[in-house]
Amino acid sequence: MLPAPRLCCLDLDTFFVSVERLLDPALRGKPVVVGGHRGGRGVVTSSSYEARAFGVRSGMSIREASERAPADAVFVPGHGELYGDYSRRARDIVERYSPVVIAASIDEHYLDFRGCERLYRRPGDADDDATILRVVRAMTAAIDRELGLPSSAGIATTRTMAKVASGLAKPQGVLMVAAGAEAATLAPLPVRKLPGIGPVAERRLHAVGIATLGQLVAAPDALLRPVFGAHADGLRAAARGEGRDGVGRERPAFREHDPRGAVAGTISNERTFTEATPETALEVLSALCERVASRARHRGVVAGQVTLKLRYTDFHTLTRGRTIAPTSVDVELHRIALALYREARTRALPIRLLGVALAHLRLDAVQLPLFDGGERRARAVDRVRDRFGYHAVHLATSLGRRGRGRR
């Protein structure tokens, strides 16, 4: 028996633009570009359908978007702080409709309706599929009514198929792909529409004459194998709409930590310049370390690994990382980042980008939990550590870590 379409991808339409329109209703109906001021530097993070009609797309440079967008288009830098709030409010609504909700990104949630059919059934529903479809429509209507945000949803037998369906449903639509209809739904689509096929894979496929997912499914092994090796079979299966069921794992940043205190995810901060002088680079490096250290402390974690990212003006990019005794102290992180920077910077070319990333995060036994009074204490701990070193301050419970933390 075929599995029923019960996995749902709920996607907020042109999310950043929609939030900007809540803040400024005058933006409604106009071409809107979020990401920067007209003519400035940066890239488009979101554009309205009116702007897309002129060829403005996410990821495009603001400069190019400025050339394409009509005169009445509005460019806004965006309100990054607010998007997370609206995302959480959308999630609160979504959670009323399904017991299993996974946040995949700021504007995308996955829901699992398996086993919910009977709970939601109404006399008028023709069958279980109709029940789920009605519930999902009610959910997007609630998001629109309560938050004023448009959204779309796809419902299918696999998470990937649901994602593709939500894209096909936009704007403000709901599309269910019936069990068994996956391959036929995907076949006419360009290969790029399949999650997992990015610019590189797309280029390689085009090079061997494959443009659509239907062609990918039909492609002989001899054509795919030289290009994708062992991935060829998986790629073809994905293009047929086959995949694991279930909604997958929660985003690491939202995931619970494991019993030993390890925390999933990374914390990073980077900055792009047109061309940085060595003095600027050093100043920025210090600022980046302060930022990631501060964010780590607010999350109540220490980092066991620091990675420095460096891009030269010719776009050659390299990373240098080091495993360290876990810390979230600015000066400690800065000392390591500086060493990595000196190690990485072998060329005389000016620098285009600098980044600092923290990984191998774990809960900080010293400053947990980090609420109101806790934050003041953490700051005090930081001050002491800055003067006397990390190991100057430890709770009894964290002393056991010291031996293991050292190399």
Among 14, 18, 45, 131, binds DNA (CB under 7 A): 45
Q: Tell me the CA distances in angstroms from 34 to 22, 45, 81, 217, 285, one per residue in order.
A: 14, 6, 14, 37, 27
Of residues 178-197, those binding DNA (CB under 7 A): 194-197
Of residues 341-370, those binding DNA (CB under 7 A): 353, 355, 357, 360
Of residues 372-401, those binding DNA (CB under 7 A): none
How many CB atoms are located within 10 Å of the residue 347 CB?
12
Among 323, 374, 384, 399, binds DNA (CB under 7 A): 323
- Closer to DNA by CB, 86 or 116: give it: 86
Among 119, 138, 141, 253, binds DNA (CB under 7 A): 253
Of residues 14-43, those binding DNA (CB under 7 A): 41-43
Quick one: which segment of 53-61, 146-154, 363-371, 398-406 binds DNA (CB under 7 A)? 53-61
How would you classify residue 154: left for phi > 0, otherwise alpha for psi between -120 and 50, otherwise beta? beta
Residues 159-178, one symbol each (x = binds DNA by CB under 7 A, - = not), give ----x---------------
| 3-state SS assignment for residue 363 | strand
- Closer to DNA by CB, 21 or 309: give it: 309
Gap between the Cα atoms of 159 and 234, Å rounded = 15
Least distance in angstroms from the C-beta of 210 to DNA: 13
**Cα 30 → chain centroid:** 27
Phi and psi, residue 266, nearest 5°: -135, 160
Least distance in angstroms from the C-beta of 63 to DNA: 5
Among 39, 40, 148, 252, binds DNA (CB under 7 A): 252
Gap between the Cα atoms of 55 and 51, Å rounded = 7
Of residues 261-320, those binding DNA (CB under 7 A): 264-272, 295, 305, 307, 315, 317-320
Among 39, 70, 99, 105, binds DNA (CB under 7 A): 105
Task: Just list the catalytic residues.
Answer: 108
Least distance in angstroms from the C-beta of 28 to DNA: 22
DSSP state of 255: S
Helix (H), strand (E) counts: the chain: 16, 13
- 175 contacts: CB under 8 Å, gap ≥ 6: 152, 153, 154, 155, 165, 166, 168, 169
Among 2, 71, 200, 207, binds DNA (CB under 7 A): 200
Least distance in angstroms from the C-beta of 134 to DNA: 26
Print burial letters for 38-66: b (CB count within 10 Å at least 16), e (below 16): beeeebbbbbbebbeeeebebebebeebb
How would you classify residue 39: left for phi > 0, otherwise alpha for psi between -120 and 50, otherwise beta? left
- Closer to DNA by CB, 131 or 390: give it: 390
| Site residues, DNA (CB under 7 A) | 41-43, 45, 58-59, 61, 63-64, 104-108, 163, 194-202, 249, 251-253, 264-272, 295, 305, 307, 315, 317-323, 353, 355, 357, 360
